[in-house]
Amino acid sequence: MIHQLLVPLADHIGSFRFFESITLRALCAALTAFLVGIVVGPGIIERLSQLRWKEHIASDSARLAEMQRKAGKGGTPTMGGMILVLATATGTLLFARLDQHLVLAALWTMVAMGVLGGIDDRIKLMRIPDPRHPGRFRKGMDAWPKVWGQVLIGGVAMVWIWSTMRGVPGWDLLRVPVLAADGVSLGVLVIPLGVLVLVSTSNAVNLTDGMDGLAAGCAVIVTLVLTVTAYVVGHAGFAPHLEQVFIPQGGELAVFLAALVGGTGGFLWWNCHPARVFMGNTGSMALGGALAVSAVGLRQEVLLIVAGAAFVWEALSVILQVGSFRLRGGKRVFLIAPFHHHLEFKGWPESRVVMSFWIGSAVCGVIALGLQRVL
């Protein structure tokens, strides 16, 4: 918005020309989103408390439920993900160019996934009896309706991106190191691949959201990696030097991603231990959707897997646990899944688990950036 308003006036006020700079606008978007998150956080948290939208301790593991009660998790307001969605949207609307389809698709997906996650959270908070498990309450939407909702949102986003970007030379290439140096052209198959990435990422972030600051901290690091990557592949000079496909709208997507870094950081201020608010599915699904759409738009799905290894491992730990339990007669791989709770059962303090994941994410982020010539 600021770009469209001020840059045309640069002939009269020369300083307005600075807002042509993607770097400046990305920094402004990040700072604005962070400050919005800090400022609106207390009001949203108070309102969530007044509405009694608070976390109820419910787990299939009695031991985990007891540990969470002792840690004082019960009664903490949830659905705080609306803080990061609002903050990110504000930074994006102010400083990104709103005539760029990658930016609009990413922003729309974040908001749409946040709404879907909010519906999921609201069903859980309503304490509706579960007819399939007498004496228990529903934990949110049923699995398949939620997945189909994610598929629908992902399908709209990916068709939007594909129809916009298919004319960019080399954009539809899937680069598989060693197997195909020049990449494999996917054509319209980018759409189902993108939907798969979106569903997988949003659910992986959701599974990681189980400790104070865990998912948000990891997401800040992954988003920073994608922000740098977006700037690089959107730069006509840097992209060829690193043997990357030049994405004309990549630079503007970097502004959105910078706003996402700031918005998530602002939320993390209130979510770090001891958390004053939980993001809920409202935040985790919005984060996952935004990261997935950005990665697909930049054709950096492999980089997302490397940088987001913490999310991948959390999802994989659940898959391994469920698979082992069903195929090996009730035998488990971990004490409990996802993996962060396994470490908690092993006696690790929550702060140590979270910091370990942050450090691991930082290392994976550096590796992902170092592999730019390969990926």
Whether 42 and 277 have beta carbons less than 8 Å apart is answered as no
Paired tokens of 242: 């690193």
pLDDT score for 279: 94
- Please check the confidence at residue 7 and state whether its pLDDT lies above 90: no
By 3-state DSSP, what share of the chain in percent is helix, strand and coil, each rounded to 5?
70, 5, 30
**C-alpha dihedral sign at 277, 340, 204, 179:** positive
DSSP H helices, 51-136, are 62-70, 81-95, 101-125
Q: What is the per-residue burial (b if ≥16 Cβ within 10 Å, else e) of 227-243?
A: bbbbbbbbbeeebeeee
pLDDT-based confidence at residue 148 (cuts at 50, 70, 90): very high
The HSE-up count of residue 56 (CA atoms within 13 Å, CB side) is 16
pLDDT score for 87: 98
Alpha-carbon span 46 to 206, nearest angstrom: 24
pLDDT score for 54: 79
- Please check the confidence at residue 105 and state whether its pLDDT lies above 80: yes
Write out pLDDT tens, residues 286-301: 999 999 999 999 999 9
- Which helix or strand (DSSP H or E) is residue 174 part of? strand 173-176
- Please check the confidence at residue 165 and state whether its pLDDT lies above 80: yes
Average pLDDT value for residue range 154-159: 97
Whether 29 and 97 have beta carbons less than 8 Å apart is answered as no
**C-alpha dihedral sign at 32, 228, 293, 323:** negative
- Please check the confidence at residue 60 and state whether its pLDDT lies above 80: no
- Please check the confidence at residue 11 and state whether its pLDDT lies above 80: no
Q: How many CB atoms are located within 10 Å of the residue 297 CB? A: 29
